[in-house]
């Protein structure tokens, strides 16, 4: 079923499509929306096939899905520009694949189990929007300034352990940065 969501072409993956295994008609560009779906074995199997069958994907939206594992070869989805894992069950260690998505422009990991951002995010030179909820910036402290395309960095957590001078220097190198959300947590 084709749906238009804003200016982007979206293809809603319905349960009957999964049941019939009829994925061949899905073409570039598209959004695979898996939210509001019953997460079953067929859906899980479909997610495992994404990197091999849909290498030209631009957008993946796993918001509200119980996605807890990702295929090892997600780096094959080289054209991916938008990845939404908001409200998913994605733990930090499963985000190790993220450094392979060199064309990624938006990463939304708000309300996930990610509590510390993986260093692999620093490899994303085209990343424009990094949307997080209270994740510590410490692992990215050295190298954050190299993410020169970054326009939005939302709701990162600063602690007393963070070196404010070094962090200020790194943030100062982000010349495209338009939105910055910082939460300060005082250790007791």
Domain harbouring 97, CATH code: 3.80.10.10
Backbone torsion region of residue 145, taken as left when φ is above 0, otherwise alpha when ψ lies between -120 and 50, otherwise beta: alpha
Domain holding 158, by residue range, is 2-185
pLDDT in tens, the chain (188 residues): 333 333 333 333 333 334 444 444 444 333 444 444 455 566 667 777 777 777 788 888 888 877 777 777 777 888 899 988 888 877 666 677 888 899 999 999 888 887 778 888 999 999 999 998 877 777 787 888 999 999 999 988 776 666 667 777 888 899 999 999 888 766 65
pTM of the full structure: 0.74
Structure tokens at 181: 């959300």
DSSP code, position 46: H
Query: What is the per-residue pLDDT for 31?
Result: 41
Are the CB atoms for 67 and 41 separated by under 8 Å? no
Q: Looking at the 3D structure of the chain, how many domains does it have? A: 1
């Amino acid at each position: 079923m084709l749906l238009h969501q804003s200016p982007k072409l979206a293809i809603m993956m319905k349960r009957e499509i999964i049941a019939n295994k009829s994925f061949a008609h899905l073409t570039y560009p598209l959004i695979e929306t898996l939210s509001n779906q019953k997460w079953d074995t067929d859906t899980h199997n479909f997610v495992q096939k994404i990197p091999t069958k849909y290498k030209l994907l631009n957008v993946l939206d796993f918001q509200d899905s119980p996605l807890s594992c990702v295929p090892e070869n997600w780096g094959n989805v080289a054209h991916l520009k938008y990845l939404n894992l908001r409200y998913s069950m994605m733990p930090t260690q499963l985000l190790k694949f993220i450094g392979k998505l060199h064309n990624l422009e938006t990463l939304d990991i708000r309300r996930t189990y990610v509590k510390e951002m993986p260093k692999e995010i620093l490899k994303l030179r085209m990343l424009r929007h990094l949307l997080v909820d209270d994740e510590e910036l410490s692992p990215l402290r050295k190298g954050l300034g190299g993410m020169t395309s970054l326009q939005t960095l939302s709701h990162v957590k600063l602690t007393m352990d963070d070196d404010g001078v070094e962090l200020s220097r790194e943030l100062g190198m982000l010349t495209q940065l338009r939105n910055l959300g910082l939460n300060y947590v005082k250790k007791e």
